[in-house]
Structure 1
Amino acid sequence: MTLVQTQPRPAHADPVRRTVADAMAAAGPQVCDDMTVEVALAVMASARAGHLLVCDEYGECTGLVTRARLTALRDSAGYTDRIRLRDLAGDLGPLTSTRTTMAEAEHAMRYRRLRALPVVDEHGSALGVLALTR
């Protein structure tokens, strides 16, 4: 796996000091946490996205949910059509800031086996996503 780089890096850029802001991609689809799993899957399908950023009623990013996670939940025995994204609060994963270094972010993503990590500002608003590729 290698980190996706969405912006060209100047030749003089120090890789140790590069931050998440240097490599994050656009935030992509964002949804409110009161959305049901079925609706979230439909939004992902229509947006052709593999993940959604989940925000609370104040617009603060609370995490990221993947198609694989929602599909597994929908196919589980305990699934009902009343489950909302906020019910997955503990499973939405960590967030990072734009000041996090690339080395720190890559280490955290590999350690936690994350393929994508939401990037938020100091107010919790989603700015982008840092993604790993194979």
Structure 2
Amino acid sequence: MTLIQLQPGPTSATPVHRTVAEAMDTAGPQVCDDMTVEVALSVMAGARTGHLLVCDDGGLWTGLLTHAQLTAARDSSAYTDRVQLRDIFGNRGPFTSPVTTVAEAEHAMRRRRLDALPVVDEHGSALGVLALAR
């Protein structure tokens, strides 16, 4: 998952027309939705990231989980060590297409107060995460 600077760049870079696919790096942890919360927290710590892209066993995107969501699930009274990531999803939440412009994605993220936005192709496959630099 890539942290990108969504700041105006050099005038020759034409940032208005740059797409999310051009701005993101596909590297980063993607985890399966049958993973337990404890293992996911360990993966997150090892990757030094605040969110994980979650996919089903077919590689299709099922959601984005944050460190705060995982710790809240772990700290709940209903938690057991068998709770899987698929057990804690409400809805999948917002996502963006790789052909969306960076300017459009930035605007949507700021409007919705999102730090990260999954990038998903037309088949539902997770490609990466676009994250605002702080």
TM-score (norm 2): 0.81
Q: For 1:66 and 1:92, locate their aligned partners in 2 and report how far apart those are by CA, in whole Å.
A: 12
What corresponds to 1:18 in structure 2?
A: 18
What corresponds to 2:63 in structure 1?
A: 63
Per the alignment, in what secondary structure is the counterpart of residue 80 of structure 1?
A: coil
Q: How many equivalent residue pairs?
A: 130
Q: For 2:27 and 2:125, locate their aligned partners in 1 and report how far apart those are by CA, in whole Å.
A: 10
The 5-angstrom pairing of residues 21-32 of structure 1 reads: 21-32=21-32
Q: State whether residues 27 and 53 of structure 1, in contact with CA within 8 Å, keep that contact through their aligned partners in structure 2.
A: no
Q: For 2:48 and 2:12, locate their aligned partners in 1 and report how far apart those are by CA, in whole Å.
A: 36
Per the alignment, in what secondary structure is the counterpart of residue 81 of structure 2?
A: coil
Unaligned runs of 5+ in 1: none
Q: Which runs of 4+ in 1 moved over 6 A?
A: none
Aligned amino acid, residue 31 of structure 2: V
Deviation string, structure 1 residues 77-116 (Cα, Å, up to 9, x no partner): 3323232111233254322111111122112211222111
Root-mean-square deviation over aligned CA pairs: 2.3
Aligned amino acid, residue 102 of structure 2: M
What corresponds to 2:132 in structure 1?
A: 132
TM-score (norm 1): 0.81
What corresponds to 2:80 in structure 1?
A: 80
Unaligned runs of 5+ in 2: none
What's the % identity of the aligned pairs? 72
The 5-angstrom pairing of residues 86-101 of structure 1 reads: 86-101=86-101
Shift, 1:10, TM fit: 7.3
Q: State whether residues 5 and 133 of structure 2, in contact with CA within 8 Å, keep that contact through their aligned partners in structure 1.
A: no
Aligned amino acid, residue 119 of structure 1: V
Q: State whether residues 65 and 92 of structure 1, in contact with CA within 8 Å, keep that contact through their aligned partners in structure 2.
A: no
